[in-house]
Chains A and B, each alone.
Chain A
């Protein structure tokens, strides 16, 4: 559709117009709702909060919103692929490229990451007896940087310049020679912003877990979700730093005329190396926390201590370590030579060993336990076979010689959806249902939760199981159509139907949220008969938790205290809590850096300088209004 704009007529595709209209309508409805219900104080409160539960809640809220948005992309992809030579709406050729790029990038960076980080924020401090994350201010900065990056990324679509080089941004396609439009600049800057936030979160988590555990909570007594978070955070420190520099170099290629990744002066393969040195650990950054969630959920609902705890911890560490030695298995077809391919094939196969250990330990935890099938447990049960299937295709893909056949087909698409949805997304759902009372004070409705699970898991397998076959028959990924003669129609139609089943399961989530908050009763401290410290504090968790601080003498301390019929011993002599504060500065920092990014994307350098200068000024403001000042002054007086 062409619309006049200051005397010029600009072509705007109808999907963009539809998105504008929908957003304006939803925005107006939201605005009216907030006005009517007088919610401004709550919004203002959350804008200035540094509390781990509230920040976790915001991570989860926006993660779910972006999940719906990226899920809509998935449905559009499936509609375009529903039948051969489909001409669905506008999503052919370049529009289709934008569609799968947005879907992949959003799902990884703005859905899976924030949802996991949100759960970490909400649960990890409570599980280890910390009163907050070590750096509450920094935690708020992390969140707002994530949101800034996510909003920036979404803006690109509204200005009809969505990135289109795939979520992997492969050079030279992603350089300015082949994609001169601003789309991939949006990709660079939004990932840079949100990646920085992720790095800060990782630092925060490590310091919290290393230094803020309750007295007696040795590392060897720590639940597995905090363990997974700790190891994941180390992976983030390395992987996201490399991504950040890869994007930094790509920025110079696109905007300042260098040729690091161009095919005549530089090396496009170097981008692939940098990207996958980030990208493969990223897969484990997504999977390991989910493993941790499942371990805690399965132990809680089997009423048994986790089987093989030391092996569970070691296998997480081993997966994390090996995760850095497998990146080139994404590049078997590049031509690195038989030696390199063999090395990376072997390391990839090795990862199946610790993963297998974990699978058996989950099964042995349930064996002989009193298994209670609740919604979180259902998701954990659904995860095990699903993920094993993804693991098996993973080993198939690791055979370098065979990989040449699978490469860039729907077989790969099926594989990574089985692993990422199978572990991360199911893990997130399990964690959400499990810790929802700790986050909001209400238990989600079990019946609707089970509807959600069954629709989702059936839809999932219906969508992705056929892709193994279409992939083996040679259907390439990232191509918007196929021929009648390919005999892929029935399988693709099945996939499309499955995708809509998955989509419809999300309606049950929305219904569940509505029903729970309208009619749900307030949950007690311990709605699931839990094992770990988070179930000793009120639901939702208060801003000042663990007063007095419990003393931990064994693994699953709360469970064994309940069995003995005792209360956990407590002490008033705990280490000082992180100093909480209320401040708008983190939000302003993120806004400034987003403005700077917009300035860079459109090469309005004056705006970029203004944004950067304002961020710099805010650093100074932050230093001058340090919340420690008051605290230290009080201490000095009390010492005198």
Chain B
């Protein structure tokens, strides 16, 4: 058991370093957004951002971090039901968030504010789009996790590790979203 904990601590250290790399990448994109917003011509952020859609998608994504804690608790107490319900609701909330994101992007494009309209829109799409890609990846990861839990008959310790690594990822993606709210949307909604 002790040996496994040591190996897991290696893996956790490596993954946290990877998340550090990701945070540098997102920081670069945040800097890009701050430098180019608002752009001298074309749509202004105050014209196109809507408080309603931001609040709605935030509610879904941020609460998914809470439902994931349920799965974490199930992991500790060996309760399959909690794990599956926790992962399942997190997955659904992630999907709803993605749906809202796609809707928001679609609406902007319909209004004529696509990727290439001006640098503000470009910086917005490459940042928020990359975040959405992370959520998508996370949703696929959850499918794989639950398949492994239900069908693959993994050693419990190994499954625990896999889920815990995923939890770090999902919470990290949520933290990035908080920064998106604060730096991308909030200054132009107040």
- Which residues on the A side are within 8 Å of B13 (C-beta)? 134, 206-207, 210-211
- Which residues on the A side are within 8 Å of B118 (C-beta)? 259, 265
- Which residues on the B side are within 8 Å of A207 (C-beta)? 10, 13-14, 17
A248-B126, A626-B158, A629-B155 known; A237-B24 Cβ under 8 A: yes
CA distance A383 to B132 in the complex (A): 49
- Which residues on the A side are within 8 Å of B123 (C-beta)? 260
A526-583 CB contacts (< 8 Å) to partner B: 575-576, 578-579
**Min distance, Cβ B89 to any Cβ of chain A, angstroms:** 22
Q: When the two chains form the complex, which single residue of B3, B115, B116, B156 contacts A576, counting CB atoms closer than 8 Å? A: B3
**Min distance, Cβ A274 to any Cβ of chain B, angstroms:** 7
Tell which of A138, A245, A246 has the most Cβ of chain B within 10 Å: A245
CA distance A212 to B6 in the complex (A): 10
- Which residues on the B side are within 8 Å of A635 (C-beta)? 1, 3-4, 155, 157
CA distance A274 to B20 in the complex (A): 18
Q: When the two chains form the complex, which single residue of B7, B22, B35, B122 contacts A628, counting CB atoms closer than 8 Å? A: B7
User: Does B108 reach chain A (CB closer than 8 Å)?
Assistant: no
- Which residues on the A side are within 8 Å of B162 (C-beta)? 623
A603-624 CB contacts (< 8 Å) to partner B: 616, 620, 623-624
B122 contacts A204, CB within 8 Å? no
User: Does A241 reach chain B (CB closer than 8 Å)?
Assistant: yes
A211 contacts B158, CB within 8 Å? no
Closest to A616 in B: B140
User: Does A203 reach chain B (CB closer than 8 Å)?
Assistant: yes
**Min distance, Cβ B11 to any Cβ of chain A, angstroms:** 8
B1-52 CB contacts (< 8 Å) to partner A: 1, 3-4, 6-7, 9-11, 13-14, 17-18, 20-22, 24-25, 28-29, 32, 35-36, 39
Closest to A261 in B: B119
Q: When the two chains form the complex, which single residue of B17, B152, B155 contacts A632, counting CB atoms closer than 8 Å? A: B155
Closest to B155 in A: A632
- Which residues on the B side are within 8 Å of A575 (C-beta)? 6
User: Does A51 reach chain B (CB closer than 8 Å)?
Assistant: no
User: Does A633 reach chain B (CB closer than 8 Å)?
Assistant: yes
Question: How many of B's residues come within 8 Å of A, CB to CB?
Answer: 41
User: Does B144 reach chain A (CB closer than 8 Å)?
Assistant: yes
Closest to A138 in B: B14
User: Does B53 reach chain A (CB closer than 8 Å)?
Assistant: no
B155 contacts A265, CB within 8 Å? no
CA distance A202 to B7 in the complex (A): 18
A134 contacts B158, CB within 8 Å? no
Contact pattern, B 146-160, Cβ under 8 Å of A = 1, otherwise 0:
001000101111100
A117-169 CB contacts (< 8 Å) to partner B: 134-135, 138
CA distance A211 to B39 in the complex (A): 47
User: Does A266 reach chain B (CB closer than 8 Å)?
Assistant: yes
Closest to A245 in B: B28
A204 contacts B21, CB within 8 Å? no
Q: Is the interface of A mostly helix, strand, loop or mixed?
A: helix
CA distance A567 to B162 in the complex (A): 42
A258 contacts B1, CB within 8 Å? no
User: Does A65 reach chain B (CB closer than 8 Å)?
Assistant: no
A256 contacts B115, CB within 8 Å? yes
- Which residues on the B side are within 8 Å of A211 (C-beta)? 9-10, 13
- Which residues on the A side are within 8 Å of B22 (C-beta)? 241
Closest to A242 in B: B28
B24 contacts A249, CB within 8 Å? no
CA distance A267 to B119 in the complex (A): 10
CA distance A452 to B43 in the complex (A): 63
A219-250 CB contacts (< 8 Å) to partner B: 237-238, 241-242, 244-246, 248-249
User: Does A8 reach chain B (CB closer than 8 Å)?
Assistant: no
User: Does A199 reach chain B (CB closer than 8 Å)?
Assistant: yes
**Min distance, Cβ B8 to any Cβ of chain A, angstroms:** 9
A203-B18, A576-B6 known; A628-B158 Cβ under 8 A: yes
User: Does A9 reach chain B (CB closer than 8 Å)?
Assistant: no
A260 contacts B122, CB within 8 Å? yes
Contact pattern, A 622-640, Cβ under 8 Å of B = 1, otherwise 0:
0110101100110110010
B28 contacts A258, CB within 8 Å? no
Closest to A635 in B: B4
A135-B14, A260-B32, A265-B119 known; A203-B126 Cβ under 8 A: no
- Which residues on the B side are within 8 Å of A310 (C-beta)? none
CA distance A249 to B21 in the complex (A): 17
CA distance A259 to B123 in the complex (A): 10
B158 contacts A245, CB within 8 Å? no
CA distance A274 to B35 in the complex (A): 13
B24 contacts A241, CB within 8 Å? yes
A203-B14, A203-B18, A204-B14 known; A252-B126 Cβ under 8 A: yes
Q: When the two chains form the complex, which single residue of A242, A266, A628 contacts B24, counting CB atoms closer than 8 Å? A: A242
CA distance A405 to B142 in the complex (A): 58
- Which residues on the B side are within 8 Å of A620 (C-beta)? 144
- Which residues on the B side are within 8 Å of A602 (C-beta)? none
**Min distance, Cβ B81 to any Cβ of chain A, angstroms:** 23
- Which residues on the A side are within 8 Å of B35 (C-beta)? 267, 270
CA distance A257 to B144 in the complex (A): 36
CA distance A152 to B50 in the complex (A): 44
- Which residues on the B side are within 8 Å of A203 (C-beta)? 14, 17-18, 21
- Which residues on the B side are within 8 Å of A270 (C-beta)? 32, 35
Closest to B9 in A: A211
- Which residues on the B side are within 8 Å of A274 (C-beta)? 28
**Min distance, Cβ A79 to any Cβ of chain B, angstroms:** 40
**Min distance, Cβ B180 to any Cβ of chain A, angstroms:** 16
B94-142 CB contacts (< 8 Å) to partner A: 115-116, 118-119, 122-123, 126, 140
B1 contacts A639, CB within 8 Å? yes
A206 contacts B17, CB within 8 Å? yes
A266 contacts B6, CB within 8 Å? no
**Min distance, Cβ B134 to any Cβ of chain A, angstroms:** 14
Tell which of B28, B36, B123, B154 has the most Cβ of chain A within 10 Å: B28
- Which residues on the A side are within 8 Å of B161 (C-beta)? 628
CA distance A513 to B129 in the complex (A): 51
CA distance A258 to B116 in the complex (A): 5
CA distance A193 to B108 in the complex (A): 32
A258 contacts B122, CB within 8 Å? yes
B25 contacts A245, CB within 8 Å? yes
CA distance A203 to B37 in the complex (A): 34
Closest to A277 in B: B28
CA distance A578 to B123 in the complex (A): 41
CA distance A212 to B122 in the complex (A): 44
CA distance A516 to B187 in the complex (A): 68
A245 contacts B29, CB within 8 Å? yes
B32 contacts A134, CB within 8 Å? no
- Which residues on the B side are within 8 Å of A257 (C-beta)? 115-116
Q: Sorted from nearest, which 10 A-B pairs have the closest CB atoms?
A: A241-B24, A258-B122, A245-B28, A632-B155, A257-B116, A576-B3, A203-B17, A632-B158, A207-B14, A241-B25
6 residue pairs from A and B, CB less than 8 Å apart: A206-B17, A237-B20, A265-B118, A266-B36, A623-B144, A632-B157
Other A-B pairs, 15, CB within 8 Å; known A135-B14, A237-B24, A265-B118: A134-B14, A206-B17, A210-B13, A238-B24, A241-B24, A252-B122, A257-B115, A258-B116, A266-B36, A266-B119, A578-B10, A616-B140, A629-B155, A635-B3, A635-B4
